[in-house]
Structure 1
């Protein structure tokens, strides 16, 4: 799995979630609510159940369940300082909100 999480994005997770170096986060695919029908990246402390793959950035460990690699493989998670928000880009998926 090729997943890039920039230092800026990792630092935002640290700040917003009161994390410290060595903490582990699980990234997972979220399905939107009624009317949205979209996908997004969810995050929670800890590792996913079952088999998973990990990448490290900014002193944090990010884990992705092998069942959800389809969404994260090729993705770059960054922090846009101008917009003050995380960005999720995956050239393998035309539209990360509504992948085909």
Structure 2
């Protein structure tokens, strides 16, 4: 699987999360909400250091990653991180791995 971060999403992270060089953003399964794959779980995001990353993307000196323990959540789909221009917030899209 892959993480794909649009340029607009990267700008959103830099502005809204006040990112600095070397920061790391983790995407993880959290209890509550819903997702296209699992009722009762949704995608969470946090700035924290990786411990056992399974998927990584480095973009503009920021590391975006998913830990090994959270791979089950994505059901073999790539994670696309975009910006909802109307709401000015991050949105996620998932595509089946090729």
Q: Report the TM-score when normalising by structure 1.
A: 0.70
- How many pairs were matched up? 89
Please say if residues 11 and 58 of structure 1, whose CA atoms lie closer than 8 Å, have aligned partners that are also in contact. Answer: no
**How far, CA to CA, are the matches of 1:15 and 1:84 in structure 2?**
11
Q: 1:4 maps to which residue?
A: 4
1:1-100 maps to which residues of 2 (within 5 A)? 1-32=1-32, 37-70=39-72, 71=74, 73-92=77-96
Please list every run of 5 or more consecutive structure 1 residues that lacks an aligned counterpart in the other structure.
Answer: 93-100
Question: CA offsets, 1:9-37, max 9 Å, x none?
Answer: 1211121111123311111111216xxx5
Please say if residues 78 and 88 of structure 1, whose CA atoms lie closer than 8 Å, have aligned partners that are also in contact. Answer: yes
Deviates more, 1:83-92 or 1:49-58: 49-58
**How far, CA to CA, are the matches of 1:18 and 1:26 in structure 2?**
15
Bigger fraction of residues in strand: 2
Please say if residues 53 and 65 of structure 1, whose CA atoms lie closer than 8 Å, have aligned partners that are also in contact. Answer: yes
Q: How large is the RMSD of aligned CA atoms in angstroms?
A: 2.2
SS in 2 for 1:74: strand
Q: Report the TM-score when normalising by structure 2.
A: 0.72
Compared CA separation, residues 39 and 79, structure 1 to 2 (3 A): same
**How far, CA to CA, are the matches of 1:22 and 1:49 in structure 2?**
15
**How far, CA to CA, are the matches of 1:73 and 1:3 in structure 2?**
9
Shift of 1:51: 4.3
